[in-house]
Amino acid sequence: MTTHIDFPLVVSGRGRTATADRPGYLRDLIEQVLFTAPGERVNRPSFGCGALQLVFAPLSDTLVTATQAAVQGALAQWLVDEIAVEAVEIERRDAALVVSVSYVDRLSGERQRALFQRAV
């Protein structure tokens, strides 16, 4: 069984770098793409989709649809070898952004749904 470094980086109770199983690893990857703003990474300036910026914009159906398309495109670009995105749902609750991503793990073929919530 392959293990991956957990994100965000933490030290386990045994004093070692914490690890994640495959589902946790995929969830971590998706979270990095969702909440990294393009330009934030020096060596990969186009990485991410900046979904967190939606919290500051006036919410409309057009904006949600455009953001869903941007999120789906970014996930397809950066995680194409790992997952096949089936659906992205975005909702703003007060000062929090809630993103739901349904996907298929390309390695195991298992369908997964991950829910992410960030407050600002």
- Tell me the pLDDT tens digit for each residue of 52-82: 777 677 767 777 788 888 899 999 999 999 9
Of the candidates 40, 98, 91, the residue with the CA atom closest to the CA atom of residue 64 = 91
Which band of pLDDT confidence, cut at 50, 70 and 90, is reported for residue 50? confident
- The fraction of the chain above a pLDDT of 90, given in percent, is 48
pLDDT tens by residue, 98-107: 899 999 999 9
Average pLDDT over all residues of the chain: 87
Give start and end residues of each alpha helix (H) in 36-88: 61-79
Q: Which burial class, exposed, middle or buried, applies to 112 when counting CB atoms under 10 A from its CB (0-12, 13-18, 19+)?
A: middle
* Predicted confidence (pLDDT) at residue 3 exceeds the cutoff of 90: no
Q: Provide the domain count of the chain.
A: 1
Q: Quick one: pLDDT at residue 43?
A: 92
For residue 111, what are the domain limits?
4-119
Instruction: Indicate the residue type of 87.
Output: A
SS3 114: strand
Q: CATH number for the domain including 56? A: 3.10.450.40
Q: Global pTM? A: 0.85
